[in-house]
Amino acid sequence: MPLPFQTPGYERMELSTQVIIAEAIKRGVTIEVLDEHSQFLRLKKGKHIEYVESATKTSRDSYLTSTILGNKIVTKIFLKEHDLHVPSGKHYENYHDALADAPKFVSKGKSYVVKPNTTNYGIGISVLKEGFNEADLVRALTIAFSNDSSILIEEFIPGTECRFLVIDGKCVAVIQRIPANVTGDGEHTIRQLVNEKNDSPLRGKGHKTPLENIEINEIELEILRGQKLYPETVLQKGHQIFLRNNSNISTGGDSVDFTDVVHQDYKRLAEDATAAVDAKICGVDIISGEFEKAPTARNHAIIELNYNPVLYFHNFPFEGENRNVGKYILDLLGFSFD
C-alpha cells in the first residue's frame, strides 16, 4: 500500500518526479515514463506535449542557464555583477596550487568551506571551523579534488541555511535545512538514536522519501570526534548533536518549512538571484542569522544557485506546511485544469 507521500503506481520514481506526476494527474495530463533511470517524462494533454527530466529540467530553461548554474565559479561572477552578496574566496584548478596557499587560510583564524565546483547534494564539501590546522585543510582538499577538477575555498558564513524555490520569477516556497542530528534521551547511544530516527517511514535512500537516512561513515565519525563523541556515546537527555556540518537533506538533514517565517525581502533577493542567471526554475541557497529581519550587506550571503532543485521537501517537510509546489511547474509548462 502506498505511503501518504507516494503517488500510487509511481512509487519507484524519485519523489520530486512523483510530485510532478501527482499534479499532472489532477489536471488530466497523460503521463508517459520514457526512461525511469533518468526520470524522463512525456506529458501530454490534447496536442500540447512537454518533456520533463528529474522533475525540474524543462524546455523553459536554456542550455546556457543550466551550464551557468552547474558551475559555482561562474554563478558567483553573475551574482557579484548584479550586486548580490556571495562569500569571498578563491578557486583552484589543481591541488598543488591550493596546497601552496594553505598558510594564507590556516593563519587567518577564520572558518572556511572547501567544495567542488560542479557537484550537488553536499558531495565533497568540508567545513573547516576556526582553529583548523594544515592537515585538516589537506584532507578537505583531497576530498574536494577527488570529486572535481576544480574547487573553491570560501569564507564560512555563520547562521541558518534556507533553500528558496523560485519558479517563473516568483519565490513559491522556502525550507530551512538542518544538518543531520539526534537528541539524547539519557539512555541510548548515538548509533541507537540514529537507527531509531532512520526507522521513520519518512526516511530512506535514493530520494524516494521526504528525508534521507542518517549515515555514520568517515565524515560523520570525524565530526563526532571533533566534539569528543563516539557512536557508542550516550547523550544526556535533551542534548542535541550534529553529525554533519552541511545541511543537505541528501546527507540526513531535517527540513522545516520557513515560507511564512522569512522576511519578504529575502524572497525578493532569491528572485533577483534567479533573474541574474535568467533561470525559470531555481533553488537559491541563502545563509543568514536573521531571516526574520530584512537582509543587509552584513547579515547574509547567497551560498549557491541550483539547477534542477529538489521539490519534495517543500511538499513533505519534516515540520510545517505542504506547499504543493508541483502546481507551479505545471502552470509554467502551460497545463491548465479542464
**92 and 152 assigned to the same domain:** yes
Confidence of residue 245 (pLDDT cuts 50, 70, 90): confident
Q: Taking a C-beta distance cutoff of 8 angstroms, is the pair 281, 166 a contact? A: yes
* Residue at grid coordinates 569564507: 155
> Rounded mean pLDDT of the chain?
93
Q: Is residue 134 part of a domain?
A: yes
Q: Is residue 16 part of a domain?
A: no
Q: CATH no. for residue 135?
A: 3.30.1490.20
**95 and 146 assigned to the same domain:** yes
**135 and 99 assigned to the same domain:** yes
Q: Which of 247, 263, 296 is the last residue in one of the domains? A: 247
CA distances from 321 to 173, 255, 293, 325 (A): 10, 11, 22, 11
Cell output for 80: 557579484
Q: Is residue 272 part of a domain?
A: no
Cell output for 278: 535568467
Burial-class residue 153 by CB neighbours within 10 Å (0-12, 13-18, 19+): buried
Q: Is residue 217 part of a domain?
A: yes
**191 and 243 assigned to the same domain:** yes
Q: Is residue 17 part of a domain?
A: no
Model confidence over 2-26: pLDDT tens digits? 889 999 999 999 999 999 999 999 9
Handedness of CA 88, 287, 119, 224 (dihedral sign): positive
Q: Is residue 115 part of a domain?
A: yes
Cell output for 204: 530512506
Q: Is residue 193 part of a domain?
A: yes
Q: Taking a C-beta distance cutoff of 8 angstroms, is the pair 51, 71 a contact? A: no
> What distance lies between CA 298 and its chain's CA centroid?
23
Confidence of residue 222 (pLDDT cuts 50, 70, 90): confident
**What is the domain range of residue 151?**
88-156
Q: Report the phi/psi class of residue 9: left, alpha or beta, with left for phi > 0 and alpha for psi in -120 to 50.
A: left
> What distance lies between CA 106 and its chain's CA centroid?
28
Q: Taking a C-beta distance cutoff of 8 angstroms, is the pair 182, 241 a contact? A: yes
User: How many other C-beta atoms lie within 10 A of the C-beta of residue 138?
Assistant: 14
pLDDT at 121: 67
**145 and 189 assigned to the same domain:** no
User: Structurally, how many domains does the chain consist of?
Assistant: 2
Q: Is residue 169 part of a domain?
A: no
**188 and 242 assigned to the same domain:** yes
